[in-house]
A and B are shown apart, each in its own frame.
Chain A
Amino acid sequence: MTVRASDYPPPWSPGDAIQPPSDPVDERIEVGFLIVGAGPAGLAAAIRLGQLAEDHPETAERLGDVPVAVLEKGKAPGSHLLSGAVVNPRGLQRLFAGRKRMDELPFYGAVGAESVLFLTKRKALRIPTPPTMVNDRNYIASLSQLGRFLAEEAESAGATILPETSAEQLLVDGGRVLGVRTGDRGRGRDGEQLGNFEPGSDITARVTILAEGTQGHLTGAALDHFGLRSDNPQVWALGVKEVWKVAKPLDRVIHTMGWPLRPGRRFREFGGSFIYPMGEDMVTVGMVVGLDYTDTELSVHDLLQELKTHPRIRKILEGGERVQWGAKTIPEGGFVALPKRFHAPGLLLSGDGVGLVNVPALKGIHYAIESGRLAAEAAWKTLERGASARTALASYDEALRESFIWRDLREVRNMRQAFGRGFYVGGALAGAMTATKGKFPPGNARTERDAEHKLLSTDRAKSYPVPDGKLTFDKLSSVFASGNRTRDDQPNHIRIQTKVPRELAEMWAHMCPAQVYEVGEADGDGTVQVKLAPSNCVQCGAITAKGGRLTPPEGGSGPEYTLT
């Protein structure tokens, strides 16, 4: 069988998300600076802009009534934020330099002890912590909570946050980004206008900063439209995690490798798990797997459930109760998949949306924050007397290249790709890279699109545990535990071909942690219909990596994370 997801591209093209403004000029909403995404990058940009406005009030006046607007498609800032997370405080320290102390930030404490374990089905072998993963002086956090905190800071700094607002199109005219068009609200399943239909609006600004996170909708369209993509395609991993109330505190940060992932090269199962304490009475456990896997029956959600049955992990969760669940993709291409440029006329690109993630160290939040801060500074320069917008925005690229983000990502640039050659070879290569600080092996490895790998079938699903509702859970009850209560009667926001070979449909059904896809009736020619339940969607983005396209649904839809 030679079925590849990439042979069945979705009925969507980047041009669908780019258009000139359509509202009459006096109905457009004009703001000073527009930020899309209330995540760490977007909020850092908003906070930095607020600081600059406070320091330079006369310049700030030129920004008008709404100097900074932040659009957030989730119900509230934090609703769509999910990560491990162990945060390197560097980004926050630079952002709040002199204005806040570390103990004022919402962390669950500094990292104390840590272990890296290699798991087999029954055993756990402690292995020395790889140097890239040493976490001392880092802090444990819930990104969702951190996001809520940063949002409050941004609002105190003068930003206007607009939740439940999706950014559907990038407004481009004459080669320049003018702003975004927000999504309609109040449409029915067939696109018809319901009683409370509210059309989207054109929002225009001097500079638009995209901070949409992984699989950013407009970011992807902009990279294509302005020809900014790297020659190496971006690749992603899918992370599925749970937050648990536990009976006994966990005393260390744990990362695992090995079981239940398979080391064989043909499976391409790169990833591992993390278990972090969140204070004395909570723990978060998650599984992360690269989406270049080849087995149609691989389900990261079910691998997480399987992981929890390991005696070592079961013990940690014993007597506890699951309180939240979530899923999100992580860009894993690293340095070699970064865009050629991070700006275009009227536009700056930041954070996970452009892949600023250090995979071996599992870090991206402090890079997002730093990139947001740098984007704010570049945007501010457009206000300076005699400034050339082009030079001002180009200064963002320069700043990025001179920052610690660039240094760090460059050093670890080939590690992830090495693991494409299997766990053991990859492990050896990774070791060599670390020892030589990235000088060996020389050059830049290439990435291959996740959707291009040939699919194969094993009986992988047989080993997934049958959910018992106490330790292990099915997908639907997990979607409930994400706080998802998306309005059903709205248009389908997922673009995929719905008549595909059975293997592909099955792959999507297993892949999706929220059970959006189901294998429907066979059409008699080797293909089947794909049935969708779009309101289950937690907008993780996996489908975009594997042959489809996630577009933003009605604002306010999706999960309502609070502890992830």
Chain B
Amino acid sequence: MSPDKNTKEMICIVCPIGCHLQVSTDGEEVKVTGNRCSRGEEYAREEMLSPKRVVTATCRLEDPQHPRLPVKTDAALPFEQIEALLAEVYSLSVKPPVKVGQVLIEDFAETGVNLVSSRTIQTQ
């Protein structure tokens, strides 16, 4: 085994199956075993190089029946951006009607990631 060879075990978080992955890097090359699908391989590669997470939270909703609106990022966000995104989510206030998938924050911090509503709320 060459000195820049590095093996790591990780649990795939792409879906609830939670595959146990063996990831080895040899210089630029990332080798993944233990994955059941191609998304697991992609996750492991990304986790080794630059970890990202989908963020789910709630923001204020101006509706007496539903004071909070569930929201999510439409793609995984770089780890170090999560705190800043959450600060923005918590200062947001949405007026119904709002549709599931509706963009609430577009292209957050030029990451290409949008914050979208994950629920439809009609006006009363």
Tell me, yes or no, whether A binds B.
no
Binding site for A on B (CB under 8 A): none
Binding site for B on A (CB under 8 A): none
